[in-house]
Amino acid sequence: MSEAHSAGLVPEAVFYTAEFAADPRGRQLLEQLATSGARFRRLKPRELAELAQTEHPQGILAVVPWQPVSPAAVLAGADPLLVVADGIRDPGNLGVLWRTADAAGAAGLACTPGTVDPANPKTLRAGMGAAFHVPLAQLAPGWTAWLRRQGVRVVATAPGGTLAPEAADLTGPCALVFGNEGEGLAPQVLAAADAVVGIPMPGRAESLNVAGAAAILLYVAVRQRQSPS
């Protein structure tokens, strides 16, 4: 809730426990929210846990207006770095990917058809506030061609990719595409990409978690963009 408040979002309703209100930091946050015009309701811990759909809620829950933006709006800035989730099914993985995109300063996260609902509670919890910092867009079928028409370089990731992360050009307008946890990216996506990057894995593991792979690629992009060659 503090992340939403710091992002300037105004809650419609706030639910909290007496224990949260008794904590100095909790009391301070409630006092800050008191001028927002939101409806407030104190709940028992069990009631808040049921509402939050989690075993260990933080003691406060808010209803905050939020909605995706258009893909064009995400690309409106200079040299945008876009993270594309293509068919990712696990809400926790999508949330961590969102959080990693936030840490790397990505312009936005875009989800293709078939990707888990980004408003899933598990996604939002795993994102740790990224939803309030990194805009989200929904891409329509034919999105690879649309991105290329916008002048965005499409860089796909795959275990069999022969291009090392450091060898890929991740500067300028660029979309890093990460695929389904089990099946990876579809052949048509790989064929349409400007480059297909693979992460060297000299160990015995067959693959990396999608969020782990994203962290590696995104920080290669960060390094290139901070120190362009």
List pLDDT tens digits, range 56-68. 778 888 787 777 8
Mean pLDDT of the 66-72 span: 86
Tell me the residue range of the domain where 43 lies. Answer: 2-63
Mean pLDDT of the 76-80 span: 91
Q: pLDDT tens across 148-171, in order?
A: 999 999 999 988 788 999 999 999
Distance CA 42, CA 198 (A): 50
Q: How many CB atoms lie within 10 A of CB 135?
A: 18
| pTM confidence score | 0.82
Q: Which residues, listed in sequence order, are joined to residue 171 by a DSSP beta bridge?
A: none
In this structure, the answer to whether residues 205 and 169 fall within a common structural domain is yes
What three-state secondary structure class fits 85?
A: strand
In this structure, the answer to whether residues 102 and 169 fall within a common structural domain is yes
Q: How many CB atoms lie within 10 A of CB 166?
A: 10
Query: Which of 21, 40, 63 is the endpoint of a domain?
Result: 63
Q: pLDDT tens across 192-219, in order?
A: 999 999 988 888 887 788 889 999 999 9
* pLDDT value, residue 90: 93
In this structure, the answer to whether residues 174 and 219 fall within a common structural domain is yes
- Do residues 130 and 123 lie in contact, with contact meaning Cβ atoms separated by under 8 Å? no
In this structure, the answer to whether residues 97 and 35 fall within a common structural domain is no
Residue 220 φ/ψ, nearest 5 degrees: -65, -45
